[in-house]
Amino acid sequence: MNKNTAINILQWIYEKPYDFYNNSVTQENIDEMMDGSYKYLIDEKQEILGYFCTGKAAQVPAGHKTNVYKQDAIDIGLGMNPKFIGQGNGYKFCTFIINYFFESAPESTLRLSVAIFNKRAIHLYEKLGFKNTSEFSTGTTEFVTMVLRKCSMIIKLEKLAMTDATPLFEFESKNRSHFEKSVPSRGEKYYILEHFLEGLTDLLEEQNRQDSYFYLIKDEMGSILGRINIIDINRQQKVGHLGYRVGENAVGKGVASKAVAQILEQTKDLEIVSIKAKTTLDNIASQKVLEKNGFMRTDLLAETNDIDFVYYEWKIDT
């Protein structure tokens, strides 16, 4: 952090009710931002995307009175340039910061102190895997502390490519019995490598036409955890259909919810304004994933081949 950047950040103006985070250019504030606890991120155009801080700078003094900082953790605070807020940048911004800390301290716990009125930020942090731990008050503002441990699993989406053929075939073969517990079998031919590669080629051609987009859900090491797709895109209506599934070893770790959150962040780049999805009536976990990510039920029940489905739709904020 240098002086010019510190002054730039201190001059940021947020709209109500986020004007709570507005600051002032004073020597004390400049000195704090230059004490080594603050770092900033820039985008490809060399514009400041946001900043983050650690240690005491990321703590709220009133929290010490109720011992919310007693447990060992890396306290982090962050702020995004108001110019980039509301453009789908929050998830990527926070994921970069999380990965930055876990790469250097993989066994650590990250902790945030968030003003309770900031529902937008809390919702984002929950998507990232943070859990509420305690609440406290400064007398004028209520705060909540949220923690994230590495075991919560950081994931990334990568667009399907032919280079994924071998690990994807192994993933599908390994999880065959797991998937067939909840969806119809893809048939014996699907699990013969030659036929699998033919199918993969067809998917990549469909993706090249931009009729559908196919992604692999991977962990930090590049291992496949699942798949998530937007298919049957209607370009005139700007509508796509969501489908996803997660391997047996990744079930119950928040992978599906995070993957859905990430793919929704990319919808503006894909020029899609509405996404439809469906899940079986008895798949409560999938229903919770969709509803957590802002999907609304459209049809409660519809029967196809003696299977009852719940239908959902998500629309981009305008």
Per the CB < 8 A criterion, the answer to whether 154 and 220 are in contact is: yes
pLDDT of 106 reads 65
pLDDT of 178 reads 87
How many C-beta neighbours within 10 Å does residue 148 have? Answer: 24
Strand duo 239-246 + 274-280: pairing: parallel
Separation between Cα atoms, residue 224 and residue 55, nearest integer Å: 35
Share of the chain above pLDDT 90, in %: 32
Separation between Cα atoms, residue 89 and residue 79, nearest integer Å: 12
Q: pLDDT (tens digit, 9 = 90+) per residue, 245-297?
A: 999 878 777 889 889 988 988 887 788 889 999 888 878 888 888 998 889 99
Separation between Cα atoms, residue 162 and residue 208, nearest integer Å: 12
Separation between Cα atoms, residue 313 and residue 276, nearest integer Å: 4
pLDDT of 285 reads 82
pLDDT of 206 reads 94
Half-sphere exposure of 64 (CA within 13 A, CB side): 7
Among candidate residues 238, 257, 248, the one with its CA nearest the CA of residue 318? 238
Q: pLDDT (tens digit, 9 = 90+) per residue, 49-96?
A: 889 999 888 898 998 888 888 888 889 999 888 888 877 778 888 888
Find the farthest-apart pair of alpha carbons in the chain and give their distance in angstroms, rounded.
70
pLDDT of 153 reads 67
